[in-house]
Amino acid sequence: MLDYDLNVYQDSLHRRVRAAYLAGYSVLEKTYREGREKLEQDLKKPTDADDIELTSQIINYEDERWIEQRGALAAMALALLASLTKSFLDDEKGWMDKTHPPDPKGYAGKAQLFKQVTEYKARFGIDLEKLDGFETVREVELARHCCLHRGGVPNKDYKNKTKNRLLSEYGNIDMTREQLDLLIKELSRFGDLLSAEMREFRKRTMQPSTS
């Protein structure tokens, strides 16, 4: 059961998020590179100053649009990563609802992720924040929020609570293909460790009492 959730989570990170991101990136990058190359060739042709100025402005526009498109791809990938991680956390704890039901009053936390941190600690004695990879879980969630609610502009939480690995040279949230691969690797590691902790917890609590 727990292994199934882990396999689905890790498979989805690669087959859904990575595949979608790379497909989108490939198409947009190809269009951008081909368009820019044509414009640069136009600049080399004999023409008047007004045409040169216009072509230069179009090149600047295309550069800015490429940055925006990369930001949109990053936002999509981060939203998927965060959603899959939330579902994984929900699924892992869901197997224990009958034997270790959640508190009907809920759990404290500024945001959903930190409510889950409180819940895992209260129900299972598992401190998510101490698991290798949790920093990545937090960075993905905070970066997702910035992309969806602030147009990619980082807020104080992102700047102060992460290593700022997803900040571009322009100061906005962005992501390269290499960074995405690293995030997926770290999230997969987090999944491995959490699943192992939950299996151990289940093993301990299912053992018959010797008293």
State what percent of residues in the chain have pLDDT above 90: 82
Sequence-separated (6 or more) residues with CB below 8 Å from residue 62 = 32, 35, 36, 39
Q: What does 70-102 look like in DSSP terms, one character per residue? A: HHHHHHHHHHHHHHHHHHHHHHHHHTTTTTSPP
Specify the pLDDT at position 191: 97
Residue 93 has pLDDT above 50, yes or no: yes
**The token pair that represents 37 in the structure block:** 């190359």
Is 162 in contact with 186 (CB distance < 8 Å)? no
**pLDDT, greater one: 22 or 206:** 22
Q: Is the dihedral of CA 16, 139, 114, 190 positive or negative?
A: positive
Domain of 55 in residue numbering reads as 2-206
Task: For residues 134 and 148, give the distance between their C-alpha atoms in angstroms, rounded to a whole number.
Answer: 21
Specify the pLDDT at position 46: 72
Specify the pLDDT at position 1: 63
| Closest listed residue to residue 10, CA positions, set 202, 139, 176, 193 | 193
Specify the pLDDT at position 209: 52
Burial of 172 (0-12, 13-18, 19+ CB in 10 A): buried
**The token pair that represents 172 in the structure block:** 């906005």
Residue 211 has pLDDT above 80, yes or no: no
Residue 48 has pLDDT above 90, yes or no: no
| Closest listed residue to residue 193, CA positions, set 137, 118, 115, 113 | 137
**The token pair that represents 140 in the structure block:** 């993905």
* Residue 211 falls inside a structural domain: no
Largest CA distance in the chain: 94
pLDDT, mean over the chain:
92
State what percent of residues in the chain have pLDDT above 70: 97
Residue 2 has pLDDT above 80, yes or no: no
| Residue spans of alpha helices (H) in 95-167 | 112-124, 134-150, 156-161
Residue 157 has pLDDT above 90, yes or no: yes
The number of distinct structural domains making up the chain is: 1
Confidence grade of residue 207 (pLDDT, cut at 50, 70, 90): low
Residue 110 has pLDDT above 90, yes or no: no
* Residue 45 falls inside a structural domain: yes
**The pTM is what?**
0.89
